[in-house]
Amino acid sequence: KNQVEQSPQSLIILEGKNCTLQCNYTVSPFSNLRWYKQDTGRGPVSLTIMTFSENTKSNGRYTATLDADTKQSSLHITASQLSDSASYICVVRLPNTGNQFYFGTGTSLTVIP
């Protein structure tokens, strides 16, 4: 079983609408949790990073939240744009390790005009 599960697998929304992507994890404790945006044919780009003790982090129209009790994180996208069409990947890093990360399989978001 994957230690980081994302939902939905895919999502189609109208331009201008808001949406929320979910990430459920079993890794605990962890060092930090990141959301990446991956455009088709390109490498992932970091959007937000939150430590275990943080609840929310914003980056423009992207806001990530973290609930350590329920082991859930969400990425909220406000006023979506066509350029938001991409895959969004949740990544959890284990503490005290330089290189152990767990990747979710991503949510594919399509924004249509």
Does the footprint of another protein cover residue 41 (CB under 8 A)?
yes
- Measured CA to CA, the distance from residue 24 to residue 6 in angstroms comes to 6
Work out which of 8, 14, 16, 45 binds another protein, going by CB under 8 A.
Answer: 45
Least distance between another protein and beta carbon 96 (Å): 13
Least distance between another protein and beta carbon 60 (Å): 17
Instruction: Using CB atoms within 10 Å of the CB of residue 25, give its burial: 0 to 12 exposed, 13 to 18 middle, 19+ buried.
Output: buried
Does the footprint of another protein cover residue 98 (CB under 8 A)?
yes
In the beta sheet, which residues pair with residue 19?
Answer: 77
Which among 20-28, 56-64, 72-80, 98-106 is the span making contact with another protein, rule CB under 8 A?
98-106
Strand 32-38 relative to strand 45-51: parallel, antiparallel, unpaired?
A: antiparallel
Does the footprint of another protein cover residue 101 (CB under 8 A)?
yes
Least distance between another protein and beta carbon 68 (Å): 19
Work out which of 23, 34, 75, 109 binds another protein, going by CB under 8 A.
Answer: 34
Strand 10-14 relative to strand 107-112: parallel, antiparallel, unpaired?
A: parallel
Binding site for another protein (CB under 8 A): 34, 41-46, 49, 89, 98-101, 103-106
